[in-house]
Amino acid sequence: MDRRHLSKSVLSCSAMACSRAAPTRARATSEIESMSPITASGITPAASARSAPPSAATTRGATARAADSAGAPSPETAPAPARAAPGAAVGLDPQEAVAGAQALAAAATDLAMLRENLAGFDGCGLKLSAKSLVFADGTSGARVMLVGEAPGSEEDRQGKPFVGRSGQLLDRMLAAIGLDRSSVYIGNVIPWRPPGNRTPTPQEVAACMPFIRRQIELADPDFLICLGAPSAQALMEISTGILKARGRWQDFDTGKRVIRAMATLHPAYLLRQPSQKRLAWRDLRALRRALDAGAGDAATGSDAGG
């Protein structure tokens, strides 16, 4: 075989080998490109999926689908749980609470039974956070009944009203007119301490009102003294400020009879405002005069005077 013939044979074999290899390379290239096609930005979709977080719409859609499959509402439509006020009765209807209180209070035939019924009352959420039921102190049947707003921390600890600093001042105030705890009866509009000594809500006051009114009726005092504005507003329905309302006798219907009631300054207020003790002293002297007179139903609206 001469040189020209050999050269043609080699070229022919090379062309055949190339023609057989070309489809193989084409298939391999096609497979690689189908597995990792390059986007216009130069990043493959697979790499983009690994590096970019899912969009908010994708996340919401996936969450909604998962919730639907479980039969639960989507987070977009499910209402957020309501946060109850500290000490509030969760899910309790205020009208039902008042109706329950009225029934329990009316069923009590004496103070011991009233205390028992109050202890079993679940219509006021303050019961859940308080340590003690602060019902009363002193002597039931005394001629004078004093009513404050709600217990403080020391009262909650001991289970008696007015035993903290304000109670110590109250003892001195009573002693100044010849009285002590054995000669008065002491209670509160609210028998459970509000968390952090916060102001009781109107719903909490309404739920406890049937009990304190029944307590006054069963104690049957001749004179009712409301200590502080909240007590006077709740029991005597006073809408003016305590400095204007204090020292004035008015009628109070206990449910059994009409007695005399007067609002005066709360001992805790006097600890903060010592200069106002002179006003409280006037009110105490008016009470002393009424006790000495032996009457429990003097004319409405008379001032305590000086």
Q: Residues 305, 286: contact at Cβ < 8 Å?
A: yes
The residue ranges of every structural domain in the chain are: 94-293
Q: How far is CA 283 from the centre of its chain?
A: 35
- Cα torsion through 252, 255, 259, 261, rounded to 10: -30
Least confident of 109-118, 134-143, 188-197, 291-300: 291-300
Q: Residues 44, 37: contact at Cβ < 8 Å?
A: yes
> Residue 179 has which token pair?
């009285």
Residue-wise pLDDT for 37-94, tens only, equals 333 333 334 443 344 444 444 444 444 444 444 444 444 444 444 455 554 555 579 9
| Cα–Cα dist 176/186, whole Å | 17
The CATH number of 94-293 is 3.40.470.10
Residue-wise pLDDT for 155-212, tens only, equals 999 999 999 999 999 999 999 999 999 999 999 999 999 999 999 999 999 999 999 9
| Cα–Cα dist 242/223, whole Å | 18
Q: Residues 166, 153: contact at Cβ < 8 Å?
A: no
Residue 224: pLDDT above 70?
Answer: yes
Residue 271: pLDDT above 90?
Answer: yes
Cα→Cα distances 220→74, 241, 252, 286, 293, Å: 59, 27, 12, 20, 18
Global pTM value: 0.70
Q: Which of 64, 86, 68 is nearest to 76 (CA)?
A: 64
Residue-wise pLDDT for 286-297, tens only, equals 999 999 998 555
Q: How far is CA 42 from the centre of its chain?
A: 59
| Cα–Cα dist 203/209, whole Å | 10
pLDDT score for 92: 74
Provide mean pLDDT across the span 133-157.
97
Q: How far is CA 121 from the centre of its chain?
A: 18
| Cα–Cα dist 25/135, whole Å | 96
First to last CA, the chain: 149
> Residue 210 has which token pair?
């049937």
